[in-house]
Structure 1
Amino acid sequence: MILVAGGTGRLGTLVVRRLAAAGRPVRVLTRDPARAGHLAELPAEVVRGDVRDPRGLDAATAGATVVVSAVHGFAGPGRVTPASVDRDGNVNLIEAARRAGAAFVLTSIAGAAPGHPVELFRMKAAAEAHLLSSGVPWTIVRACAFTELYLDLLRQTAGRSGRPVVFGRGDNPVGFVPVADVAAAVTAAATDPAQRGRILHVAGAANRTMNELAAEVQGELGTGGRPPRHVPRPVLRALAATAALHESALARQAAAALLMDTTDMTFDAAGAAAQ
């Protein structure tokens, strides 16, 4: 049986569907079982649990041969933060997998590093480090930014004008990846023991800019020919600076947007293969 934590999210849903289609027994761990309604037609068991609370994780992982973590805490209410979910939550889940004798597949992020300027990347790196030292058989899947996530965000901000909001100048190439490609890699890692002890990198076929994604959305809406709206970099810097004063999803999003707009976010396949 394969347990998928975060199995009701964008990535987790596709992983659960792929596992079920392959005839694999699958269990979904979610904070709110009502969020698994779209999986009702699948032969998947749904259990309530929160990776931030280790008390319920032994029951969730009981009988599992593989635990897949598709959770993230980049944005959310209350105590949902990269520290509480991507680091501490994954540590709790890894320890539960260790006690259950299960292998572990961690969905991480391309560029994860202890000294990264964005908290999410640092917390993913901390989870990776704990997994590598845990003694649990492991696979790490490092994915680039999900194309569909950013297309959805642009659609949501287009409003009545049909002009999406781009954070920053929007002309910096980014290694976006279709979420289906990441789901395929995670599913393969969960079902193939030969993938243990490997770090897998998943990226799209080409790097794209936010302005290019905005143009795609405007093409869908029939509002092409007009430029998207932009949030200037100084505004992003001011918002990102508030992260030092208090935890804020908006501050985290501004910091991530500034990074995507000002640094090299292209995917280097040769460099990744050399790791």
Structure 2
Amino acid sequence: MIVVTTPTGQIGSRLVRRLLDEGKDVRVVVRDAARLDDRVREQVEIVTGTHDDPDVLDKALPGADALFWLVPPNPHAPSAEAHYVHFAREGAAAAARHEVGHVVGVSSAGHGWPTPAGVLSAAFAMDAELAGSGAAYRALSMPFYMENLLRQLDAVEGQNAFYLTCAGDQPLATIATRDIADVAAGLLTDLTWTGQENLPVFGPDRLTPDGMAEVMSEELGHPVAYRRMALDDYASLLRSQGVADQAVKDVTDAFAAQDHGIYDTDWANAEPTATDFRTWCREVLKPAAEARTAS
């Protein structure tokens, strides 16, 4: 039995489908079962609730061979680290109670970074807690998600531009969420691995944001430019949207660490995944842009 948290998210939903295609027994922890695909709902065991609740975990984990762990974002938490650690402590304790042998967690690249890195440091703290469960643990260590760009479709289509805080002429490490799910599926369907490790999961490109803009222009069929935003300006934008000061700091500290190379060591050691940025633009970004235009 494999237990999957966040089964309706971009990573979890693909992971569940992959596991079912492999003929695995899957149990999911989900707030709202109605959000599951009909096919999935018919084939999985469902535990309703949130996976920071010990009672929910005690329903989900009996008999589990492996657990897929992803902490959902909560911008209203006192801090990203408090949020991640709270979830991880409950998960680690429940995994130990039920003697779950293997855990795969969604984390960040850059373990060992010497200065605070906001949300990324929170993920590292999560890993430390889960590693204490006694289970074999793999922290899937990722850089910038390509899917983050989907949040900027209005700007991409309306302003012919996208915005980040990093230098336009320096390579930006990226990963497609479908590749994260595929790596997780590989680990969860072959439980011969042991020990506790951070596993870098990076896409095959070494594109700069300016280079990404060129690819987006070609695939979308209209010009797209990269516009760098100063961190202070980004922080002001978040505050204008009602984001709390600590949440702003958690995000901007992460982006500052990204700008200063937090991903570089893992990037140098990572085995590239399958999805390059052009393929992602063609198969994910362009259909999303077309759907936006049609709506």
Q: What TM-score, normalized by structure 1, do the two folds share?
A: 0.81
Asked if 1:15 corresponds to 2:37, the answer is no
Question: What is the CA distance between 1:45 and its match in structure 2?
Answer: 2.5
1:35 alignment partner in structure 2:
35
Instruction: Measure, in 1, the Cα distance between the counterparts of 2:170 and 2:216.
Output: 18
8 Å contact kept, 1:110–1:142: yes
Question: What is the CA distance between 1:169 and its match in structure 2?
Answer: 3.8
Distance 1:150 1:208, change over 3 A: farther
Counterparts of 1:110-259 in structure 2, within 5 Å, are 110-113=109-112, 115-147=114-146, 149-199=147-197, 200-224=199-223, 227-236=225-234, 246-247=244-245, 249-259=247-257
1:98 alignment partner in structure 2:
96
Counterpart residue type for residue 53 of structure 1: D
Structure 1 SS opposite 2:68: strand
Distance 1:205 1:80, change over 3 A: farther
Structure 1 SS opposite 2:258: helix
Instruction: Measure, in 2, the Cα distance between the counterparts of 1:38 and 1:79.
Output: 32
Question: What is the CA distance between 1:114 and its match in structure 2?
Answer: 7.2
8 Å contact kept, 1:236–1:257: no
Farther off after superposition, 256-265 or 28-37: 256-265
Instruction: Measure, in 2, the Cα distance between the counterparts of 1:60 and 1:222.
Output: 47
Distance 1:116 1:18, change over 3 A: farther
Cα RMSD between the aligned structures? Answer: 3.2
8 Å contact kept, 1:174–1:264: no
Unpaired runs of 5+ residues, structure 2, are: 272-295
Counterpart residue type for residue 121 of structure 1: L
Question: What is the CA distance between 1:47 and its match in structure 2?
Answer: 2.1
8 Å contact kept, 1:172–1:262: no
Instruction: Measure, in 2, the Cα distance between the counterparts of 1:213 and 1:106.
Output: 28
Instruction: Measure, in 2, the Cα distance between the counterparts of 1:229 and 1:188.
Output: 37
Counterpart residue type for residue 129 of structure 2: H
Structure 2 SS opposite 1:34: helix
Counterparts of 1:39-54 in structure 2, within 5 Å, are 40=40, 43-54=43-54
Count of residue pairs brought into register by the alignment: 267
Farther off after superposition, 212-221 or 119-128: 212-221
8 Å contact kept, 2:173–2:205: yes
Question: What is the CA distance between 1:87 and its match in structure 2?
Answer: 2.0
8 Å contact kept, 2:104–2:140: yes
2:290 alignment partner in structure 1:
none
Counterpart residue type for residue 252 of structure 1: D
8 Å contact kept, 1:115–1:122: no
Instruction: Measure, in 2, the Cα distance between the counterparts of 1:80 and 1:6.
Output: 21
8 Å contact kept, 2:169–2:208: yes
Question: What is the CA distance between 1:221 and its match in structure 2?
Answer: 3.5
Instruction: Measure, in 2, the Cα distance between the counterparts of 1:247 and 1:6.
Output: 27
Farther off after superposition, 39-48 or 202-211: 39-48
Counterpart residue type for residue 94 of structure 1: A
Distance 1:54 1:264, change over 3 A: closer
Unpaired runs of 5+ residues, structure 1, are: none
1:140-186 alpha-carbon deviations (Å, 9 max, x no partner): 32223222x23313324324233223335433312212223222221
Question: What is the CA distance between 1:269 and its match in structure 2?
Answer: 5.2
Identity between Structure 1 and Structure 2 (%):
25
1:232-256 alpha-carbon deviations (Å, 9 max, x no partner): 34424667999xx955544433333
Distance 1:167 1:154, change over 3 A: farther
Per chain length, whose mean CA-contact separation is higher, i.e. which structure has more relative contact order (CA < 8 Å, sep 6+)?
2
Distance 1:82 1:257, change over 3 A: same
8 Å contact kept, 1:52–1:89: yes
Q: What TM-score, normalized by structure 2, do the two folds share?
A: 0.76
Counterpart residue type for residue 120 of structure 1: V
1:3 alignment partner in structure 2:
3
Asked if 1:24 corresponds to 2:24, the answer is yes
Structure 2 SS opposite 1:125: helix
Question: What is the CA distance between 1:126 and its match in structure 2?
Answer: 1.7
